[in-house]
Amino acid sequence: MQPLTKKVKQLERKPMTLLERIYLPSIFKGMAITFSHIFKKVPTIRYPEEKRPFAKVFRGLQVLNRDEEGRERCTACGLCALACPAEAITMEAAERQRGEENLYREEKYAAKYEINMLRCIFCGLCEEACPKDAIYLSETFAPANYKRKGFIYGKEDLLIPDPLTQPEEYEKAKGERAPATH
Amino acid sequence: MTLLAIDWTLLIEKLVLIAVIITASLVIAMYATYGERKVAAILQDRVGPNRAGPFGLLQPLADGMKLFFKEEIIPNTSNKLLFVLGPCLAMLTAMMTSAVIPWGNEIHFTLFGADRHIPLQIADINIGVLFIFGVVSTGVYGIMIGGWASNNKFSLMAAMRGASQVISYELAMGLSFIALLMLTGSLSMKTIVEQQVHGHWNIIYQPLGFLIFLICAFAECNRAPFDLPEAENELNFGYHQEYSSMKLGFYLFAEYINMFISSVIMATLYFGGYDVPFLNEANLPVNIAALIGVVALLVKAFIFIFIFMWVRWTLPRFRYDQLMNLGWKSLIPLALVNMFITGAVILWRQG
Ligand code: SF4
Ligand code: SF4
């Protein structure tokens, strides 16, 4: 029969020699190999106590950003929701009232902003789509939860602490991937 | 009336001894499960159980608790009596062999003004080894009954495999032991050990016999590479597939006790039992010597247990025909040859 590919390899099927038929030499060889593994370094990372550093490009939980005056940057334009391939983002817009200028940077803001972490694939397209640098992906990930409901992150979960009133928490939550403020 | 008088102190002595030995073998079997997981982990560059207690040392307790709290399921179609009898028998036969093993030399102490000499052996019967062979071969009933009573194809198949395997390998084991018997001239475990304490260890005279014995011991304990009766990936779980809760625990436990006991037997028959090489026990106080002896025996047994595990995590399982070929076509002829050579050498040395 014509072989279908050029990769066919003819095997030599010699009858086993006596040494091979006794099995023992190869058994001892195998046992020596497993024994040598006793002295090998264990690559395990004992997770809760020991954590592996994330890569520089790691994309994790989203953060809704504030500007340096502590105002929410998001203007509820919906571009992130549009860009999102997983359709994980929903939001409701509201108009900024007089006197709320210290809360929201733009005249329109997101009254409700939800990301479903079970849908999100952490692609980072929302971050790329945002014209206001209002959302970026940080180095943490969504922790486990008992209920599906717990994976729908609202604004209170996503919004970064105010840099003016809570500077310490803000620094902690900011992370490496935060866009430079301007 | 003195004819019927029972030596109460002897009885109590023996009961205490039995209690101690059974507890000890249970604890050792318990920690053998932990050891197995740790050895497996280390051989595979993993960490192994390390959550329960320091270094995971409480893991066996946690496992036992878990097994106790599991629901007892007895399948509807099973034979209820046999279903319960199976694990009991497995456990019973596993424990019974420890009766004739000399765990150490005598200990001496004075109780109520009477000097007692207590040999660290439950029963020094003069057919000790035969007893072990007998009990071990009843052990297969545990598997057989369990598999049969489960009323399930896989379990039955596994039980059949187990039974035929144990029977086949028992033959080779017995034959390899006969060669040793011709050397020692005694079936009593105690005598065999005493001879090794004063002379050389039997492994020097019987290396081939020991090898056959070792392989057969693997097969008798249903350990890899001969774990066909429980072959997870072929038979789901083999003969204990239908078992749950502590009944399953008994089966698993019996395996580890068997492993421990056969390690002890190998150490006793071929590696001098409680003998410590290059140490003259006669120079030491009796009790300390006995204690050292027990420790020596346990150390030897632990080394064998490690070998059991090491082999398990190295070798793949035999195919059934390979298993039978190895047993009937290789080990039995080899054991016979070994027997003849031993006999010839003994005759030649006698002139
Ligand atoms: S990271 Fe990707 S999937 Fe997740 S919300 Fe942003 S755009 Fe959607
Ligand atoms: S996060 Fe950015 S893209 Fe999304 S609605 Fe707000 S401003 Fe628009």
* Chain A residues with beta carbon closer than 8 angstroms to that of B315: 27, 30
* Chain B residues with beta carbon closer than 8 angstroms to that of A42: 45-47
| Any domain includes B19 | yes
| Any domain includes A92 | yes
| Any domain includes A83 | yes
Q: Given a cut of 60, is residue A182 above it in pLDDT? A: no
- CA–CA dist B166, B163 (Å, integer): 5
Structure tokens at B37: 């997981």
| Any domain includes A38 | no
How far away is chain B from the Cα of A47, in angstroms, using its nearest Cα? 11
Ligand at minimal distance from the CA of A74 is 2
What is the three-class DSSP state of B249?
helix
Q: Which residues pair with A135 in a beta bridge?
A: A64
Q: Are strands A89-95 and A108-116 parallel, antiparallel or unpaired?
A: antiparallel
Q: Give the nearest partner residue to A44 out of B47, B311, B315, using CB atoms.
A: B47
| Any domain includes A12 | no
So what's the pLDDT on residue B203? 81
Do the beta carbons of residue A75 and residue A109 sit within 8 Å? yes
Digit-coded pLDDT (tens) for B225-237: 877 777 666 677 7
Do the beta carbons of residue B219 and residue B166 sit within 8 Å? yes
How far away is chain A from the Cα of B262, in angstroms, using its nearest Cα? 21
Round the average pLDDT of chain B to a whole number and report it.
82
Q: Give the nearest partner residue to B315 out of A27, A41, A42, using CB atoms.
A: A27
| Any domain includes B53 | yes
Q: Given a cut of 90, is residue B266 above it in pLDDT? A: no
CB contact under 8 A, B313 and A34: yes
Round the average pLDDT of chain A to a whole number and report it.
85
For chain A, the residue count is: 182
Q: Whose CA is nearest to atom 2 of ligand 2?
A: A130
- Which structural domain, as residue segments, surrounds residue A147? 62-174
CB atoms within 10 A of CB B133: 18
Burial A29-65 (b: 16+ CB within 10 A, else e): eebeebeeeeeeeeeeeeeeeeeeeeeeeebbbbbbb
Ligand at minimal distance from the CA of A91 is 2
CB contact under 8 A, A40 and B43: no
Digit-coded pLDDT (tens) for B65-114: 888 888 888 888 777 888 888 888 888 888 888 888 888 777 777 766 66
CA A172 – ligand 2 centroid, Å: 23
So what's the pLDDT on residue A181? 59
Q: Whose CA is nearest to atom 3 of ligand 2?
A: A130
User: Average pLDDT, stretch B336-351?
Assistant: 87
Do the beta carbons of residue B204 and residue B326 sit within 8 Å? no
Do the beta carbons of residue B183 and residue B346 sit within 8 Å? yes
pTM for the whole structure:
0.76
CATH of the domain at A114: 3.30.70.3270
| Any domain includes A8 | no
Give B126-131 contacts, CB < 8 A, sequence gap 24+: B126/B186, B126/B187, B126/B188, B127/B187, B127/B188, B128/B100, B128/B101, B128/B187, B128/B188, B128/B189, B128/B190, B129/B100, B129/B177, B129/B181, B129/B187, B129/B188, B129/B189, B129/B192, B129/B269, B130/B187, B131/B97, B131/B99, B131/B100
- Which structural domain, as residue segments, surrounds residue B46? 8-350
Q: Does A152 contact ligand 1 (Cβ within 6 A)?
A: no
* Chain A residues with beta carbon closer than 8 angstroms to that of B313: 34
Largest separation between any pair of C-alpha atoms in chain B: 68
Count of CB contacts below 8 A, A vs B?
Answer: 30
- Tokens 């300390």, residue? B288
Digit-coded pLDDT (tens) for A19-35: 777 778 888 888 888 88
User: Average pLDDT, stretch A167-176?
Assistant: 80
Q: Among A172-181, B135-144, B290-299, which stretch is predicted with the lowest mean pLDDT?
A: A172-181
CA A96 – ligand 1 centroid, Å: 26
Domain count, chain B: 1
So what's the pLDDT on residue B233? 67
CB contact under 8 A, B44 and A30: no
> What is the distance of C-alpha B148 from the center of its chain?
24
Q: Which residues pair with A108 in a beta bridge?
A: A95
**Chain B residues interacting with chain A (CB cutoff of 8 angstroms):** 42-47, 50, 310-311, 313-315
| Any domain includes B187 | yes
Q: Given a cut of 60, is residue B1 above it in pLDDT? A: no
Burial A72-81 (b: 16+ CB within 10 A, else e): bbbbbbebbb
Digit-coded pLDDT (tens) for B20-50: 888 888 888 888 888 888 888 888 888 888 8
Q: Which residues pair with A64 in a beta bridge?
A: A135, A159
CB contact under 8 A, B46 and A40: no
Single-letter amino acid, residue B335: A
Q: Does A88 contact ligand 1 (Cβ within 6 A)?
A: yes
Give A152-155 contacts, CB < 8 A, sequence gap 24+: A152/A114, A152/A115, A152/A116, A152/A117, A153/A61, A153/A62, A153/A114, A153/A115, A153/A116, A153/A117, A154/A112, A154/A113, A154/A114, A155/A64, A155/A110, A155/A112, A155/A113, A155/A114
Strand positions, DSSP E, chain B: 104-111, 114-120
So what's the pLDDT on residue B4? 62
| Any domain includes B319 | yes
φ and ψ of A7, to 5 deg: -85, 0
Q: Among A80-84, A91-95, B150-154, which stretch is predicted with the lowest mean pLDDT?
A: B150-154
| Any domain includes B2 | no
So what's the pLDDT on residue A82? 92
CB contact under 8 A, A33 and B50: no
Q: CA-based angle B247:B237:B319, to the nearest 5?
A: 135
User: Average pLDDT, stretch B113-129?
Assistant: 75
| Any domain includes A32 | no
Structure tokens at A171: 């620094």
Instruction: Give the pLDDT band of residue A16 (cuts 50, 70, 90).
Output: confident
Tell me the angle at which helices B286-312 and B207-220 cross, rounded to the nearest 10 degrees: 70
- CA–CA dist B151, B158 (Å, integer): 12
Domain count, chain A: 1
| Any domain includes A129 | yes
Q: Given a cut of 90, is residue A90 above it in pLDDT? A: yes
User: Average pLDDT, stretch B191-200?
Assistant: 80
